[in-house]
Structure 1
């Protein structure tokens, strides 16, 4: 019976296969569809850019809507083809394995005292200026990026894939990509990128809270109720100091789960941004990066099991028979 349930749900099967493909291969090396979408978005920006929230909102909603409409074609395919398309889309939008590889590479560079190489490599993960960062600050930047992207690159795509299938997967990634491109607080994007940033806030609100819940559960598995309470308490106390309504709770839950202190002052585009202090643990060092990548693997697996399990259960929940007079 359980096998037949899975066979009737190509979305669930595609999510699992795509997740395993990401674990095995990481991001596609060439012709990445997200990069292709980014090129289209850059072309639209050249034509539509203005210091106008309305123009930015129209550009963002048009790109996201077009992506979702194209993805809806998948629902007209036969079941085997839907599984393959869903698996390919899941593989393309997930970034967990590549995130781990970046973390491992930075940890190796720091372990070899190659500070110059680590400063160059950390640019793949963060937008802050790394030119004057020491080893511990690079390690903090790396762990914070792994923490924040655990929601953006793993939990949120899986969540929206379970909710809406391939349109949810690619629609979410379109929103997240536009936020990465346009959601900056500088003179060029403060108005034009406002809508992209707000769309990303909305799309990540539930996945960010799911990430907190998963970190709470994982902490309980290692440290019992005290570990779970530490995550909840840290999020309630420290997350409001972070400027992001979603990254704040996620990073605070990671800080408590790892037993470290995150946050502080970061340098972006010539501006210092105070992100508060998250957690009561010790400051991050290079030795904490491998711990963060191991935690990401646990969190990713827990996210997959949670959202796919919830989807399968909800789609096959027994229906009450209609009343007869």
Structure 2
């Protein structure tokens, strides 16, 4: 596949920016969301291919990711040197795969339930953000769960799509979201998926290595806008605690967020009745419901920074790339 032209890169930058704006103003549909449709496709493919082995999981991941990426590559080719069409296609794809507004809405819903002392409602709503067992969780534990989920999903659902969109355009956006969706579906360590989901989980870890660390850096940069003088604490906490988490990526964002908000994250979680003791991240007080809104605001700032950085990277690539006329002139000169 030939390298994108200057106009292609600029159109992708415009589309990425428009898609980021659409994420703020156009809510996800209750039915017919493209990611939900992909989930149904992946589930149907799993029913045909499942076996509790890693090789079968590798085949499943390759087919489940390869199909949408092939479609995205076709769209990429059809929109070459058609800047308006390319910008529109990129904008719609970005809106479909970025989940920043949905993430903040769920955090806001948890904040309102806890503010109203609706503990049963908050426990029931927690499943919209994470998979830990909510039974018996008190407000501080619920608040910690929300802040941790917002921090991790800011990397997974916001920064990473912008990063891969800047790197590879529409195929990058689609490919990343496919892998991340598979990780959520089959990447957990249950008896059914510990082998079959291994490839999806490791692929997701690989694709998030850079975005998770970029999220941490953007969190550090945005920290003073949420809490005065917090950048230094966020930096120190990230450098010290970012690698303590069992995930190679989640701890990066959570540690930076803990430092930015001046709280402690990590500790005991329960999933499906199994207790998971995680290292404590940060030196501050325990999380409380009042930290949910600042965490959501931090996520908004980080997402805006990631979108701006992605668009700026594409514009810079366009500026340093020779124009089509210049390349043709150089080719003719060389031929003579």
- TM-score (norm. length: structure 1): 0.93
Tell me how far apart the structure 2 counterparts of residues 185 and 8 of structure 1 sit (CA, whole Å): 40
Deviation, structure 1 residue 155: 0.2
Change (3 A) 1:281 1:311: same
**In the alignment, structure 1 residue 146 sits paired with structure 2 residue 164:** no
Tell me how far apart the structure 2 counterparts of residues 203 and 233 of structure 1 sit (CA, whole Å): 25
Tell me how far apart the structure 2 counterparts of residues 287 and 219 of structure 1 sit (CA, whole Å): 16
Deviation, structure 1 residue 222: 6.9
**In the alignment, structure 1 residue 233 sits paired with structure 2 residue 236:** yes
Which of 176, 181, 184 is the matching residue for 2:180?
A: 176
- Where does residue 252 of structure 2 map in the other structure? 249
- Say what the alpha-carbon RMSD is for the aligned residues: 2.1
Deviation, structure 1 residue 230: 2.2
Tell me how far apart the structure 2 counterparts of residues 245 and 306 of structure 1 sit (CA, whole Å): 23
- Where does residue 296 of structure 1 map in the other structure? 299
- Where does residue 12 of structure 2 map in the other structure? 11
Which of 184, 187, 190 is the matching residue for 2:191?
A: 187
What secondary structure does 1:68 align onto? helix
Query: Is this contact kept in 2: 1:19–1:91, CA < 8 A?
Result: yes
Deviation, structure 1 residue 270: 2.2
Deviation, structure 1 residue 239: 2.3
Deviation, structure 1 residue 315: 2.3
Tell me how far apart the structure 1 counterparts of residues 231 and 156 of structure 2 sit (CA, whole Å): 22
Change (3 A) 1:91 1:318: closer
Tell me how far apart the structure 2 counterparts of residues 19 and 221 of structure 1 sit (CA, whole Å): 21
- Where does residue 274 of structure 1 map in the other structure? 277
Change (3 A) 1:50 1:83: same
Deviation, structure 1 residue 65: 1.2
Tell me how far apart the structure 2 counterparts of residues 238 and 174 of structure 1 sit (CA, whole Å): 30
Change (3 A) 1:185 1:318: closer
**In the alignment, structure 1 residue 130 sits paired with structure 2 residue 131:** no
- List alignment gaps of at least 5 residues for structure 2: 1-5
- List alignment gaps of at least 5 residues for structure 1: none
- Where does residue 309 of structure 1 map in the other structure? 312
- Where does residue 22 of structure 1 map in the other structure? 23
Deviations 1:66-88 (A, max 9, x none): 11111012221332222111111
Change (3 A) 1:228 1:287: closer
Deviation, structure 1 residue 266: 0.6
- Where does residue 96 of structure 1 map in the other structure? 100
Tell me how far apart the structure 2 counterparts of residues 266 and 223 of structure 1 sit (CA, whole Å): 27
Query: Is this contact kept in 2: 1:96–1:150, CA < 8 A?
Result: yes
Query: Is this contact kept in 2: 1:26–1:95, CA < 8 A?
Result: no
- TM-score (norm. length: structure 2): 0.90
Query: Is this contact kept in 2: 1:186–1:269, CA < 8 A?
Result: no
Tell me how far apart the structure 1 counterparts of residues 286 and 27 of structure 2 sit (CA, whole Å): 30
Tell me how far apart the structure 2 counterparts of residues 152 and 7 of structure 1 sit (CA, whole Å): 26
- Count of matched residue positions in the alignment of Structure 1 and Structure 2: 319
Deviations 1:29-59 (A, max 9, x none): 3201111111111111111111100100110
Tell me how far apart the structure 1 counterparts of residues 56 and 226 of structure 2 sit (CA, whole Å): 49
What secondary structure does 2:320 align onto? coil
Query: Is this contact kept in 2: 1:10–1:83, CA < 8 A?
Result: yes
- Where does residue 31 of structure 1 map in the other structure? 32
